[in-house]
Amino acid sequence: MGDFAADLWSHPRLMAAVADEDWGAVFRAYRRLTGVSQMTLGERVGLVQPDVSEIERGRRRVTSVEVRQRIIAGLGIPPERLPGTAVGADALPVPGLTFAGMAPDEDLLARVTTTVDGVHSVDAATLDWLDRLLAEHRRAEDFIGSGPLVEVMGQQLRTVVKLYAGARGPLVDRVVRLAAEHAQFLAWMAQDQGQSAAALAWYDRSHEWALEAGDADMAATTLSMKAHMAWSGGRGRRCVRLAQAARWSAPGASLGVRGMAAQMEARGHALNHEPDDARRLLDDAQALIGRATQHPEDEPPWMYFYDETWFTLQHGMAAMHLSDWPAATRHITTGLDALPPNYRRDRTWYLSCLAHAHAAAGEAEQALTAALASVPDASGVGRPHAWNELHTTAAVLLRHGAPEGRELTDALRAYD
């Protein structure tokens, strides 16, 4: 058995799959070489058969460190076959998150490590690096979605919190501000995955830390994002109230942050079918955003995405709630045409919304075209929001008696 195991993990296909941490390919090659069933493999690694099947088919990613370790132990993967063995299995980064230029130099790495291990010291260089790392993670999430990042961001926040004990003078507020930014990002990722209770808890924590650090921009942003959650849940009045709180409670916030709050209030009014208030606030938001784009250096780092393109897309969303389908399709199409390709998750979402708007307008062919373009990414990076919107689009088409509704339904089932 020992010789067989050694030969097994020397097989080129298995070696390549393990080196890439492509666990679906590992499962497929392992079963092909050993002849075991999905059920038997699942028993070895502590997964049920449907989960094994989903991983093999690429419909589920292994992002949990604990699951990864169970796979390694259960299949007996030799340590030397694993990438990055020198740093230890528990310290491996999430695959795909090693950014060029983001690793600290040896001196900086030593400072971060000793701080976390209990030597109470922290300096500006350490915090500068963590700022840059957070910025890269935000941009990665735009493309790969939140799933692969949740665990690594939780670990990063724990590092920041441990730095608090070693901070002195003006660095104290900076550490707290950095913790607030991490908590806000974790809240957004929980919201993106439909985990409302966790998202609200993280937003509350972020808001508290922002107030402690005197960060008006983050304090207002967390209230705007809670308004967004209310809007997503169909609670227009709560959306309006939270967005108003974001505007009134932080008058010193940046133009972009204030513009975000204004457009969130507008969307709440649109959801409540209050067109006059919605359009008035959209005009206010557009004016604020136009001024903000003239001085992007004055905006906080998490507002990097917020510009006239993003506002145009949001304008389209408000038009959808007002049943102004021509305006909705016009704004969303214009926004999508200007959206950079690295915003993969957002493109998927707005394509699904465009499909819905076309379907509601009775434009079945255009609805199907937009929906089918969205389906592949909606089944992965766009779940659950874009995926649910596509199902809504199919239902609208079917209600209208359009044959495209059945075609879209079949396409969605092929990805289920």
| pLDDT at site 249 | 86
Backbone angles phi, psi at 60, to 5 degrees: -140, 135
DSSP state of 94: P
Nearest to 214 by CA among 253, 188, 162: 253
62 against 65, higher pLDDT = 62
Per CATH, the number for 2-89 is 1.10.260.40
108 against 143, higher pLDDT = 143
Helices (H) then strands (E): counts for the chain: 21, 0
Q: Is the pLDDT of residue 352 over 90?
A: yes
**Separation CA 31–CA 42 (nearest Å):** 11
**Separation CA 71–CA 39 (nearest Å):** 14
**Separation CA 244–CA 191 (nearest Å):** 21
**Separation CA 123–CA 112 (nearest Å):** 9
pTM: 0.70
- pLDDT one-digit tens code per residue, 214-242: 999 999 999 999 999 999 888 999 999 99
226 against 44, higher pLDDT = 226
Indicate the pLDDT class of residue 1, thresholds 50, 70 and 90.
Answer: very low
Q: Where are the domains of the chain?
A: 2-89, 119-214
Strand, helix or coil at 121?
coil
